[in-house]
Structure 1
Amino acid sequence: MNQQKKRYLMYIAQNYSYAILRPLQALIRSKGGDVCWFLEGEEVSGKFLAKDENHLANIADVIAWQPDVVFVPGNVVPNFIPGLKVAVFHGFNSGKLNRKGREDHFEIRGCFDLFCTQGPDTTERFEHLAQQYKFFNVKQTGWPMLDPLFHPQIENPYINEKDDRATVLMCSTFSRNLTCAPHLFEHIKTLSQTGRWRWLVQFHPKMDPQIVEMYKGLESENLTFIETDNVIPVLQAADVMLCDTSSVLLMHLLQRKPVVTFKNQSPKPHLINITDAGDVESALEIALSRPESLMAEIEAYCQLIHPYTDGCSSLRVFDAANEMVSIGYQGLKPKPYNWLRQYKMRKKLGYWKF
């Protein structure tokens, strides 16, 4: 099949996945490829689809469309749909452990033919796993979502040119054991009321609605609560981030901007980690001063997790997928069928044809 006529499916289950795959969609379209989206489950909304984005309503439509490549920013994808299954990840490795006590980022579920990794730290681990399992390939490409991060936004709604105060972005994960949001609320309330800094607050879409409402109640000329499917402009608008163990902090670091964390699960020298909520203000002051030693640690860490700043990761993912489509599955074992997982996915998607 002519490369320019290939069909590429964007298989997503969360609203934040739109922003992960849209730079890749733009690249594919520029190369003449066809793109369609499939939305799995109730946690992703079709209201975020743009007017010019093609949507396949059900798995039967997906199978009839016969995609050549399926890009997935999640953990699983059905093996009963056509196409090369490509994992592009929904975030960076932040060290989170799953219920089995294993690092979730490196869990092999037998769903993918190709893992497009973000940087040397994860590439090495996945290459070892590829040698162990022998049913998938690994290619270091960088992360498509970050392509726009390295291209300034022409119009950024979160930047106020008339306000010369430093901008603090607070982000938090939804996990009860890891979130900083309820623990820092009173301190952020007090700090925002002083007007010393401009605050932007943006949470994981699964955040407890009660916590969301608490922070929405703080909105003022000093604090803006943001709900969005694209965090890139928010990151670009901030000078420093206040966070916990959410992987979004890594995206902020990649701009060479400091991050203050509260009880981070894996504190490292590239972070300013605090364990006492009362230390938020002093930690932010240090971060905003950008000490030389901290900035050197940030630079070294960025080279490890995502060395690319050219905004061309989508192109590398595109090329890696097409190369594997061209050469096929040479040297690879068949993926495990995973009867139980595939049964659950058929049940969830309401598809029983074989």
Structure 2
Amino acid sequence: MELAQGTQGKRYLMYISQNYSYAILRPLQQQIRTHGGEVKWFLEGSEVNPDFLAADEHRLHSIDEIKAWNPHATFAPANILPTFFPGKKVAVFHGFDAGKLNSRGKNDHFTIRGCFDLYCTQGPNTTGPFAQQAKEMGFFRVRETGWTMLDPLFSDIANNPYKSEADTRPTLLICSTFSKRLSLAPQLIEQVKQLRDSGKYRILVQFHPKMATEIVDQYKAMQDDTLTFIETDNVIPLLQAADVMLCDTSSILLMFLLLRRPVVTFNNQAPGPHILNVTEASEVEAAIDHALTQPVALMQEIEAFCQQLHPYQDGLSSQRVLAATNDLIESDGKELKRKPLNIIRQFKMRKKLGYWRF
């Protein structure tokens, strides 16, 4: 049976507030269009760049336009979404659970904020916690689909701009989250210079878009024929180009592991046998060199971890998300309880969006 059956004639809204969300939702957009559905985009806030919209991607500029268009469903790679939007609200996640803890020592990845009708989870280790909460709360569905952003990960990209046939050195990709408390970027500036100056690696650097400007500028100043700083709305070609990653607690490391390639982390908050974690700057280079040998025990741990994180390598996660969404639309989620009002949160959303009509 066609996974995306029932898409014909339906309207789907893509709700984004960060540039990286384009790459999360475009594989889903492709499936919707292929199966006869219509897609439009709503860009919330100042941190998403409208210039990244393609010529054939259509934007709605206001809540009134959204209500007039009346989407059947809205997809959001975010933690919250206005409940006053028409149609079903579907969470597709902006990353994996990387074990980050908030200031209260809690993992926000599994927090239910009463905004969504459907959570499309990435693999067994996230499906379980969400499914348990769905059973307890009763106002949303959970379906394990895999992650839309990864559909292209399992296909070779022709003419990948980050690969080099001429440079045979191993490619090191350095990524970091923006949180001062968790980020390796400010702590490893001197070590990265040493890695560059060693000449052993071809180095690509890519940071979270919220990284402090002064840190970004320091890394941009390091650029030469060995180290390149990259700003992009699509990290998949970068991941495919690298042999090893140096990271901290950013969830991007989990995407890289799914390519069955090793990751070295610096002060990772959730270290495990599937990564090589170091706690001293002086240990970084040796750990990278060890990772490049792809030790058998480490690679076995990576494989076991990936089976729990995201077992799908068929590139069909977007089709599964679309099928789960269409099923929710067709059934109207009649078994679900009414979502909590969340008056304070929705007031804040209305204030943020400048919308007060009811």
1:17 aligned partner: 21
Map 1:1-150 to 2 at 5 A. Answer: 3-150=7-154
- Cα distance between partner residues in 2 of 1:353 and 1:240: 51
- Cα distance between partner residues in 1 of 2:192 and 2:49: 31
Structure 1 segments (4+ residues) deviating >3 Å: none
- Cα drift, residue 253 of structure 1: 0.2
2:355 aligned partner: 351
Q: Does 1:323 align with 2:327?
A: yes
1:191 aligned partner: 195
2:3 aligned partner: none
Q: Does 1:271 align with 2:257?
A: no
- Cα distance between partner residues in 1 of 2:172 and 2:57: 34
- Cα distance between partner residues in 1 of 2:273 and 2:314: 26
Q: Please, what TM-score do these two structures have when normalized by structure 2? A: 0.97
- Cα drift, residue 291 of structure 1: 0.4
2:312 is aligned, of 308, 316, 334, to: 308
Q: Please, what TM-score do these two structures have when normalized by structure 1? A: 0.99
Map 1:172-183 to 2 at 5 A. Answer: 172-183=176-187
- Cα drift, residue 47 of structure 1: 1.0
The one-character-per-residue Cα deviations of 1:129-166 (angstroms, maximum 9, x if unpaired) are 00111100000000000000001001110001111110
2:240 aligned partner: 236
- Cα distance between partner residues in 2 of 1:208 and 1:93: 23
2:298 aligned partner: 294
- Cα drift, residue 194 of structure 1: 2.0
In structure 1, what residue type is equivalent to 2:70?
Q
- Cα drift, residue 322 of structure 1: 0.2
1:250 aligned partner: 254
In structure 1, what residue type is equivalent to 2:7?
Q
The one-character-per-residue Cα deviations of 1:189-224 (angstroms, maximum 9, x if unpaired) are 011012111000000000011010000011010000
Q: Does 1:220 align with 2:221?
A: no
In structure 1, what residue type is equivalent to 2:23?
A
2:215 aligned partner: 211
In structure 2, what residue type is equivalent to 1:280?
V
- Do the aligned partners of 2:7 and 2:32 also contact (CA within 8 Å) in 1? no
- Cα distance between partner residues in 2 of 1:50 and 1:271: 37
Structure 1 unaligned regions, length at least 5:
none
Give the percent of matched residue pairs that are identical in Structure 1 and Structure 2. 60
- Cα drift, residue 3 of structure 1: 3.4
My pick for the range that moved more, 138-147 or 182-191, is 182-191
- Cα drift, residue 26 of structure 1: 0.6
In structure 2, what residue type is equivalent to 1:286?
H
Count how many residue pairs are aligned between Structure 1 and Structure 2.
353
- Cα distance between partner residues in 2 of 1:64 and 1:343: 22
- Cα distance between partner residues in 2 of 1:41 and 1:101: 28
In structure 2, what residue type is equivalent to 1:59?
I
- Cα distance between partner residues in 2 of 1:98 and 1:23: 31
